[in-house]
Amino acid sequence: MDDKYDLVGFFLDKEGVFRSNIIKLLDGTAAEESASSISFAAGTFAAVNIVFLMLFFSQFAILWIERKAVARMQDRYGATTALRSLWVGENGVTAGEWWNMLPFGAGKPVGAINKWLNKKYGNRDENFPTVDRVNNRSWMGKTIVPGFFQNVADGMKFLVKEHMVPQRADKLIFEVSPFLIVSSTLLILGMIPLSSGIYATNPDLSILYAIAIFGIAPIGVFFAGWSSNNKYTLIGGIRSAAQLTAYEIPLLLTLLSVAILSGTFNIIESIHFQHAAGSWNIFLMPLGAALFLITMIAEVERVPFDMPEAEAELVEGWWTEYGGMRFGMLFMAEYIRTYAACFLFTHFFLGGWHLPLQGTIGSIEFLGLGGLYLLIPGAIMTLIKSWLVFLIVFVWARFALARIRTDQILEFGWRMLLPLAVLQLVLSLVYRLYLFNPDDMSAQNDVAGGMAWDAFGIPFFVPAATTLFWIGMFWIYLNDEDKSVAQERMFHVQTVEPAGTVVPGQE
Amino acid sequence: MPMHPHAQPNFRNLFWYPFKITLITALRTFPFIGKRFGKKLGDYHNTSHPEFLDDGSRSRAASSVVMNDISRQEFAPDRVTSDLKPTLWKPQTVQYPYERLEDMEPWLFVPGNYNGRIGVIWETCTACKMCVNICPNDCLHMTTELRVDVLDSADGEDGGLGMELEVGKYAAVEKPEVKAELEEFNLVTAHTDAPDEWRFAEVLDLSGDTATVRWNDSGEEAIVSQDELRPADDQIVSGRIDLGRCMFCGLCMESCGFTSFFMTNEYDGMSGFTRQDLWFDASRTRVLPGVHQEAVDAELAKRASKERTKRAKKAAKEAAKGDA
């Protein structure tokens, strides 16, 4: 169902406050005839900018999530450069009087406030006389503010670094390929909706658009690897090209099965379908969700599929020769692609902007609780779901799993993912044709949602049975060991009777 | 191929267990739920009661009781919960330099043969320059310095084996409060020179039991009892070391014939913001009295006895000459 907060409607509705006022303003001027188009352009500009700003600023969150979660997995605190670093220090000594660099003395009040704060709340413990001057990120050695500022600090660092081009590089291609990668990556964000009313554009075939635009960057990767004229970058670029088809085809087939199940090539309509049919797609195609995640990890080149930039063997892979802001942009592009992958998973499998159990809780009439529940903005729900997908899948996999070899990626892609993706395609067809009751779908804006996936008179039988089946398969696979084979213990001394079971002298 | 069960390349070992272990490790550090998940990592990580010493740590501590008497220590201060977030089991990473491993787990000391910060017992240095000659990086330089003649107090008494108080030369008075401070002074954490426990003065006049001196620090004249004064000299050997060039090879220590030159096992206290900060004067490299007193006493006793036999021989020779 439609989200309550309709940004695009506010800016682009001709009868709405925004456009009607602009049209009224232009009444009687030379631009009167094209007032409608001008107001449309202004509304589009505003909406697109707001959506991009939301996507960009929320992207800081995933960088932060990754750093913090990884730190916890490695038993440490993680990034600690908070905004506090700009003012805290020892008795008036701060991180540097940066406010004096602002023009027209604009920073003078900041400096005054800074000095006052330092005097009042700076580190003054004489137990750490030198330490406080060097490291001003913590208060008496304890980190109390999350290190959200670390990413900004990193960005500033990249900005002021020198741009260097290797002498023997193919300079034109070397300069062009980061822009190819970054611009094609930014285009991905264009069609990602935050909710039914918050998106930059909504093309009819947005699923196809997403896949097409995702496929441009690997060409830039290959260009970058070749043009740097460096053995590591070349190997990285070739590896990227080599593993491309192994995961792209299963990815395409998986998205095709999503499109078949929802009966549309439009992302927003496929989300509406999940609500109107009564079940999120992840419960109908857990196999497809797993395939999508695996192939997307490979697509955005993260561990365990990060052969193209394997740090341990290829320095930094295909982007070894890029430094300064070129590196920063490539880095940002990689994270935007990851973020976009999280959004796509949220939209295709987790019901997009819909709240958990939106139909059930939303239709509670007691004390208007359902209405209150529906007041939660869908964009927030999309962001939370995407962050959770990033945290649970991308970050966790990155630090749990080991990088796999090129031949293993190819074998895995061609001999496991591809047949499974074909299986999922067939399953989607069967589900859509034989297990789906179009008559039981609700209207798009019905709060309660539909019950189109019932069988044998049991509502939600199809998603429940499917989920249980795949969980069972997972459990079987987990315990798939031939226990009848005697395990020779190569590394431990084998004890006939375990310690503690035998009392000396009484055996 | 027969394999250890943990090495089987199956789905569980390659995929599921890494996920499980990283999840538990991460959850262990969060408030409230942390304690519950800590137990799942098993005994190896000692997570069920991480603030207390596990059996392995306690037995290690007991075995090194000669080094440090902490065999009855039950508590591991590096694993105490945070003050600000009482329910949070904080990561067990040592927060250096706020915390230091040797403070919290004293049995994990830095090995004695570790080549760390240079320490010199300047009192026993004879300026033979063996260390300067052998240094491959030219970081050692010999200088002279105004200092008390320690040989004067060899054998634990003012035996008069060293210099005498002379008009026109230097003398010094001990500052007891600084001497007491030096007992506690730690060059590793101080990052500054050790304070000097002597107040130097120029001797202007000697008459009877008292002496007229002019203090070097204030320039004022004063009359002091001769018992308090120690003879001092501005030509006593000293040196400075450019730690920015030092590669800690330890050849200087090996070449020293008087066991005055040491590489201590201290790894800290050698940093600075400029290259000049790394020029360590004698006050920065000296081994403080609390550490070296026995070595100095032994060396000085040796020299005193040598000096005494020399004088005795000389006196005997004189006497023999007189007899003849």
For residues A188 and A318, give the distance between their C-alpha atoms in angstroms, rounded to a whole number: 22
Six token digits for residue B171: 């003398």
Residue A227, pLDDT score: 92
Q: Are A469 and A380 in contact (CB under 8 A)?
A: no
Q: Which residues of B touch A480 (CB under 8 A)?
A: 10-12
Residue A488, pLDDT score: 46
Beta carbons within 8 Å of A228's beta carbon, 6+ residues apart: A166, A169, A174, A234, A318, A320, A321, A322
**pLDDT-based confidence at A130, cuts 50/70/90?**
very low
Q: Which residues of A touch B98 (CB under 8 A)?
A: 128, 131, 141
Q: What is the mean pLDDT of residues A200-219?
A: 89
Q: B177 and B302: one domain?
A: yes
In a domain, B59, yes or no: yes
Residue A88 has pLDDT above 90, yes or no: no
Is pTM, for the whole model, over 0.80? no
**pLDDT-based confidence at B228, cuts 50/70/90?**
confident
pLDDT digits (tens, 9 = 90+) for B232-261: 888 888 888 998 899 999 899 899 887 788
Q: B34 and B172: one domain?
A: no
Residue B164, CA atoms < 13 Å, CB-side half-sphere: 3
pLDDT digits (tens, 9 = 90+) for A467-506: 999 999 998 888 876 655 544 443 344 445 555 566 656 6
Residue B69 has pLDDT above 60, yes or no: no
Residue B91, pLDDT score: 55
Residue A288, pLDDT score: 95
Q: B25 and B64: one domain?
A: yes
Q: How many CB pairs under 8 A join A and B?
A: 73
Report the domain count for chain B.
2
* Residue owning tokens 């999350």: A146
DSSP state of B211: E
In a domain, B111, yes or no: no
Q: Which residues of B touch A400 (CB under 8 A)?
A: 18-19, 21-22
Residue ranges with strand state E in A196-334: none
Q: What is the mean pLDDT of residues A311-335?
A: 87
- Choice among A42-46, A300-304, A309-313, A435-439 with the minimum mean pLDDT: A309-313
Could you give the ipTM of this predicted complex? 0.74
Q: B159 and B237: one domain?
A: yes
Residue A492, pLDDT score: 40
Q: B165 and B76: one domain?
A: no
Residue A430 has pLDDT above 80, yes or no: yes
Nearest to B12 among A396, A402, A478 (CB): A478
pLDDT digits (tens, 9 = 90+) for B46-58: 555 666 666 666 6
Residue B86, pLDDT score: 46
Q: B37 and B138: one domain?
A: no
**Is residue A497 within 8 angstroms of chain B, CB to CB?**
no
Contact A73 B18 (CB under 8 A): no
In a domain, B11, yes or no: yes
Q: What is the mean pLDDT of residues A454-469?
A: 92
In a domain, B113, yes or no: no
Q: B158 and B74: one domain?
A: no
Residue A74, CA atoms < 13 Å, CB-side half-sphere: 13
Q: Are B152 and B123 in contact (CB under 8 A)?
A: no
Q: B48 and B166: one domain?
A: no
Of A134-138, A351-355, A427-431, B67-71, highest mean pLDDT: A427-431
Residue A29, pLDDT score: 84
> Structural domain of residue B175, as residue ranges?
118-312
Q: B124 and B56: one domain?
A: no
**Is residue A121 within 8 angstroms of chain B, CB to CB?**
no
Q: B143 and B99: one domain?
A: no
Domain edge (last residue) among B45, B80, B104: B104
Supply the CATH number for residue B188's domain.
3.30.70
Q: B222 and B275: one domain?
A: yes
Domain edge (last residue) among B104, B136, B158: B104
Residue B125 has pLDDT above 60, yes or no: yes
C-beta atoms surrounding A489 within 10 Å: 13
**pLDDT-based confidence at A34, cuts 50/70/90?**
confident
In a domain, B324, yes or no: no
Q: B81 and B32: one domain?
A: yes
Six token digits for residue B82: 């945070």
In a domain, B182, yes or no: yes
Burial grade of A254 (CB within 10 A; 0-12, 13-18, 19 or more): buried
Mutate to test the interface with A, among B20, B22, B29, B270 (most CBs of A within 10 A): B22
Q: What is the mean pLDDT of residues A412-417?
A: 91
Residue A39 has pLDDT above 50, yes or no: yes
In a domain, B14, yes or no: yes
pLDDT digits (tens, 9 = 90+) for A264-320: 999 999 999 999 998 999 999 999 999 999 999 998 888 889 888 888 888 888 888
In a domain, B109, yes or no: no
Distance from CA of A251 to the nearest CA of B (A): 21
Q: Which residues of B touch A487 (CB under 8 A)?
A: 2-5
Residue A491, pLDDT score: 39
Residue A95 has pLDDT above 90, yes or no: no
Domain edge (last residue) among B70, B104, B138: B104
Which chain A residue shows the shortest CA-CA distance from B2? Answer: A488
